[in-house]
Structure formats: C-alpha cells, structure tokens
Amino acid sequence: MNAKRFVRPAIWFAMFVLVAIVLNSFLSSGDGPEEVDTVRVVDEIQAGNVKSAEITGGDVQRIELTLNNDEELWAYYVEDQGLDLVNQLQQQHEDGTLADGYNVDIPQSNPWMAILGTVLPLLLLVALIIFFLSRVQGGGGRVMQFGKNRAKLASKDAPKTTFADVAGANEAIEELQEIKEFLQEPAKFQAVGAKIPKGVLLYGPPGTGKTLLARAVAGEAGVPFYSISGSDFVEMFVGVGASRVRDLFKEAKENAPAIVFVDEIDAVGRHRGAGMGGGHDEREQTLNQLLVEMDGFDIKTNVILIAATNRPDILDPALLRPGRFDRQVTIGAPDLDGRRRILEVHAKGKPLAPDVDLMAVARRTPGFSGADLANVLNEAALLTARADAKVITPKFMDEAIDRVIAGPQKNSRLMKDEEKRITAYHEGGHALVAAALHHTDPVHKVTILPRGGALGYTMVLPDEDKYSTTRNEILDQLAYMMGGRAAEELVFHDPTTGAANDIDKATTLARRMVTQYGMTERLGAIKFGSDSAEPFLGKEMGHQRDYSEEIAGQVDEEVRKLIENAHQEAYDILVENRDILDSLVIALLERETLNKEEVAEVFESVRKLERRPAWTGSPTRKPSELGPVDIPVKVSTNGSESDHEEGTTVSPDEHQPIAGEHVQPGHQAGPTNQMPGS
C-alpha cells in the first residue's frame, strides 16, 4: 500500500483540528452565564436562593448556579472551598430548599491529558509549517531537495517504441543501432580498439522524429534510460542547474551502462557570453557542469548522452567538439520512399479504402515532416468520422492534405461575384504562367474556395524530390509568383492587395539570388552580408552589411531588374494565351476547384515562352559553344553501384527546393488573393 496517498489527507485533518481548537477557545469566552466572585456564590447558597447547581473539578474547578429568579452565574473556587460548598448544597437538598438538586463532577486528574492539551496545538503548528516548506520549489514533499535531478527513468512496463515504429530516418537508425550494440556487446568493439561514444546529437527541423528516435532507443537498449528536458536544469537560483546535472550523472553512473536523453538541449547549451548585456550565470554554470560530466577527468564512465535540438547553430562550440558529442546526426524531411513508409506506419489501425494509394499521397506531400504526415492521416480519420463514414477514402485524404497545407476551408465566407471573378483570374494567372514556362513544377490544383487566410490558391508540386535549384528554375519561379498580379493588370487594369504575399516572396527570393547565390552578371559570384553575428540579436539585427553604399544601390537595382523582368515575362505569357486564361477562369467559376487532370486538359494548347539565352556569368566570359556532355559516373549507393547521370552540388543549407510558390507544410499556401483583414 502506498503511504503517500494518506499523507495529504492526514495533514488537512490536523489543520482542521487545530482550527477547531482555536475557534472553540474563542467561542467559549463569548456569551454564557455571568462570571462572578466566589464570595457571591457562597452568599447565594447560604441565603437559600439557589435553584440548581453544577460543580466541576479537576483541572478547572468551577461552580455554576441557577438562582430562583432563573439568573445564571458561575465562579471559580479553590480546592478547600469545594468540600464546604458540596456540604451546604447537600444540606439544602435534604431540607428541600434546593428544588432542582445539584450535580457534582470531580474527575480524577490525568497529567498526560494536560500535557497533550498543551503540546498538541504546537505540534500541529509545526507540522503545518513543514508542509508548506515542502512545497517550496516544487519539492513534492521533499524539503529543500530542489537541487535533485528531475529525470524520468523509462519504465519497463510502459508501452515500448522500437526502431520498427520509426520510418524515413535510416541513417539515424543505423547510428543509434550501433549505440545499442555497443552497450549490449562492448567486447566486439573493444577488440578492435573502439571507444564508446560520449554523446549523439540529433538535430533537424521540428517534427522530423528526433524525440521519437530517442523513445525507440529506450525501447531497444535494454539499459536504464533517463529522459529530461533542457529547461528542467535551469532555475532562478544560481547553482541549482549544476547540482541537478551532477545528481543526474551520479545516478546514471551508479546504474551504468545507461543512456541519458536531453530534449531541447539548446535551453541549457546555448553559446556562452552571447547576446547583449552579458551572459546568464545560472545557465552557463549548468553548461560548464555538463561539459565536465561529458568529458572531464573521470573517463571511465559508461554513460551515453543523447540530445535533440532544432537550433544547432546556437549551441556552444565546446559542447559540439569530439569527445563530447562525437556524433551529430541530421534528421531532415523524409524523401519520397521515406514518406510512403511513414504513412504506412501511421496508417496502422485506420480503415483505408482499397483505392487509397499511399504512394500517391507521398508524391503530393514533398517537404512534409513525419509529424505533418501523421497529422494528414489523423485529419483524414477525423473527417471520416465527421461524415459518419466507415472507411477513409481518397476524397478525405485529399481534403486532409489541403487542411494541413493551407488550413480549413472557409465555407461561411461569402464572396461577391465580382470578387470571386478577380480571384479566379488571379489564380488562373499563376497557373497559366507556370504551365507556359519550361522549368516550373506541374500544377496540381487551382481553387477559388477560401481556405485558411487565403481567398484561393494554386498548388504546384514537383514529381520527384529535388535538393538543388538552377538559376532558370528560380527565374521561372519569380515569373510564376508575378502571374497573379499580371493577370489583374491585364484584365481589370486595377491591381488588388491580393498580390501582397506574392510580391513579398518574389522580392525575398530575388534578393537571395543577388546577395547569396551569386546569380547576377553585374555583381558576380560574391556573397553580400555576413551572418556571423551573435545568435540572440534576431535575424535582422544579426545580419551585418559588409559592403558599401554604392554596392547596396547596385543590389537594389539588380533586385528590381529581376522582379521587373519576371513581371514582364508573366504579362507576355498571359497576353499570348489570353483565350486559354479566359477558358480556365470559366471552368473555375463553374467548378471552383480544378485538379491536375482538369487543369492539364485546359492547358493542352498553351503556347510556351521562348527559352532564355545561356547564362554567361561574368560579362568578360562567353558561353561555350559546346553543350553539356552526359558522362555517366559510378556512384556507390548502399554498397552497390549505379549510374548517376547528373552531378549536382548540394549545399547543407539548401536541402529543400527554394520555396517560391511550392506549398510547404506549416507555411502559408502559395499565391493568395488575400484582402486586408481577411
């Protein structure tokens, strides 16, 4: 039986008794018989004026009288007077003058009861003080133990997550699988001189499965697994966090081999001394203690630290060096096959209709994280239950994807016919420009139904995952973004505020082309601006301009030139294909939403834009007369050889295709006709 269940009720009962005693002492001194001098009591008895009497003895020697006129009074008496009073009352009772008789109650005195009556209130008061002290700093019944660690030890009886429940992160699973094998069979690695890693850092965008992987390690390891959040170390008192780190590693060492998992380690592992106004003493002392525990003088520990964060850029360099976090594993957005396998994991237990193709769903969700895909299937199940259906159909899956990308549909928002017509031309302009360019992704959907914060949107999605973007693809994206604005100018000669989001994205992308990607002939392949400022000053304040005012003016000119050229290209495409634009708008006004096949049918006779001239880079260079040569290159993939027809350079910061108008999960849907206040 758990004794802790009865501690709190017992404390509250003791408090109630203490309050009752105090109240009784106050109430007993209130209304009642009048207290008089003992002399008057004796006089009243001798005069025969007493109707009834009550005599009590022991600790409190007191006599109460009711006189013949019903007056009540009482007085204290001393021990020697008690016998005389009793004798007089006895005599009057025998003579018949004491009508209602008398009662004598003189109990035997108990010294222990007297002591208890004095000490009990004091004991209750002390218990009450201890109870409140135990709640300070969240002690949970432990007085002054807020320096203890708050890590949770994984229970053997809890439902286990294993590597079989994780999909789309094969490289990370391999790294963690080796950690598991090292803990279970250390002799295998020690035989070749391998040392156990001190730490593994999992980092990547939110929702990609970092914490899920840690739970899988807990289910697979078969050793004590402690989990704690980085924020649990930091308190208002300096030194408490360091004490908790020491206590955590002390407990883990006593149960070694063991694994410690720290989620959101950036809460305690931020760069020391960064930011305005100096550092944070408590956090920095906590970090210092963590560094010592991971790689200090004690090198015989058999404790592995696994940490997760989505902000590796702000972690202290001393935390990331070999010997502390020996392995740093990137958990990125899954590829096409990874998305399919993630969908299969989350589809278990959900009744899918036979015509639901999870591979088709995976193709429609490039850039989705594991959490986004889980949300898609959950939304589809909720929509199915809301419609009182028994199985999840492709219709519900399609709506679930749209809800995750752009938010729920606004069925209650009524649009005027003219405003709906403007929205149709705006979205039709985006779709038509995308279809007439050579390097844009296929149009998957066009709708003028309000959803989320948008009055309508156009969705373009790649047929396969891409990890780098060419200059012509970016230029096509710029033209595609300006397609809605160009359509409004062409048809109505009066642009609306609906293009604000498009202009914002186009300007940002054009500035990156100039300052980061080196894609202008005038300024060349030079990066303008430094991002090496303090990580806590914010993105805008952290960006340092390391170029002159003259170069800044040239940057602005190049950005404007890129936007104007894209705007002109979009306008020319719409003028050339005005009849197709009108046909698309008519179809949109009739059906409100067009899917990929319906859009392709309208665009069968689209006249493409002429290809741009070859990129010359610097004005001093001339494009080569020889075109690109396809040279098959043998590339090893998982131990096998395959032909790789195109070599591309993947930048660590550019794993995702440049957003443009590709609708990405967790972001605003593509081009929107968003009016003020909508």
CATH of the domain at 191: 3.40.50.300
204 annotated binding-site participant? yes
310 and 205 assigned to the same domain: yes
Domain that holds residue 226: 163-272+279-330
501 and 565 assigned to the same domain: yes
- Amino acid 435: pLDDT: 92
- In a domain? residue 222: yes
Answer with the one of 381, 406, 431 that is the final residue of a domain: 406
Q: What is the DSSP string of 279-316?
A: --HHHHHHHHHHHHHHSSS-----EEEEEEES-GGGB-
Residue 523 above 90 pLDDT? Answer: no
Query: Which tens digit of pLDDT belongs to each residue from 352-401?
Result: 999 998 998 988 888 888 889 999 999 999 999 999 999 999 889 988 98
CATH of the domain at 39: 3.30.720.210
- In a domain? residue 266: yes
CATH of the domain at 598: 1.20.58.760
pLDDT band, residue 138 (cuts 50/70/90): very low
Task: Please give the order of strands across the beta sheet that includes 34-35.
Answer: 34-35, 72-76, 62-67, 50-56, 102-105
Query: Which tens digit of pLDDT belongs to each residue from 395-413?
Result: 899 889 888 888 787 766 6
- Amino acid 328: pLDDT: 86
- Amino acid 392: pLDDT: 92
- Which are the contacts of 488, defined by CB distance < 8 A and separation ≥ 6? 422, 425, 426, 429, 494, 495, 496, 498, 499
* CA nearest to 565, candidates 479, 487, 492: 479
Q: Out of 127-131, 365-369, 580-584, which region has the weakest mean confidence (pLDDT)?
A: 127-131
Domain count, the chain: 4
In a 10 Å sphere around its CB, with 0-12 CB exposed, 13-18 middle and 19+ buried, how is residue 368 labelled? Answer: buried
193 and 317 assigned to the same domain: yes
Residue 655 above 70 pLDDT? Answer: no
- Mean pLDDT (whole number) for 3-16: 63
Q: Out of 421-425, 455-459, 492-496, 563-567, which region has the weakest mean confidence (pLDDT)?
A: 455-459
206 annotated binding-site participant? yes
Residue 643 above 80 pLDDT? Answer: no
271 annotated binding-site participant? no
478 and 436 assigned to the same domain: yes
Residue 632 above 50 pLDDT? Answer: yes
- In a domain? residue 390: yes
Answer with the one of 75, 105, 135 that is the final residue of a domain: 105
Query: Which tens digit of pLDDT belongs to each residue from 187-216?
Result: 888 788 887 788 888 988 888 888 888 888
- In a domain? residue 267: yes
430 annotated binding-site participant? yes
- In a domain? residue 619: no
Residue 241 above 90 pLDDT? Answer: no
Residues with catalytic function:
427
Q: Out of 97-101, 477-481, 558-562, 669-673, which region has the weakest mean confidence (pLDDT)?
A: 669-673
236 and 289 assigned to the same domain: yes
pLDDT band, residue 623 (cuts 50/70/90): low
- In a domain? residue 665: no
Secondary structure (3-state) at 259:
strand
pTM beyond 0.85 = no
Task: Give the C-alpha separation, 91 to 101, whole Å.
Answer: 11
- Amino acid 646: pLDDT: 37
Cβ pair 498, 428 in contact under 8 A: no
Residue 548 above 80 pLDDT? Answer: yes
Cβ pair 234, 283 in contact under 8 A: yes
Mean pLDDT score of the chain: 76
Residue 675 above 70 pLDDT? Answer: no
432 and 397 assigned to the same domain: no
- Mean pLDDT (whole number) for 10-15: 68
Going by the DSSP 8-state scheme, the letter that residue 266 receives in this structure is G
209 annotated binding-site participant? yes
Higher confidence at residue 618 or residue 441?
A: 441
502 annotated binding-site participant? yes
CATH of the domain at 389: 1.10.8.60
Cβ pair 368, 406 in contact under 8 A: no
- Amino acid 637: pLDDT: 40
The structure tokens listed for 189 are: 């690695």
- In a domain? residue 595: yes
- In a domain? residue 534: no
353 and 495 assigned to the same domain: no
Chain centre distance of CA 369: 15
- Amino acid 251: pLDDT: 83
198 and 85 assigned to the same domain: no
237 and 97 assigned to the same domain: no
Higher confidence at residue 613 or residue 583?
A: 583
210 annotated binding-site participant? yes
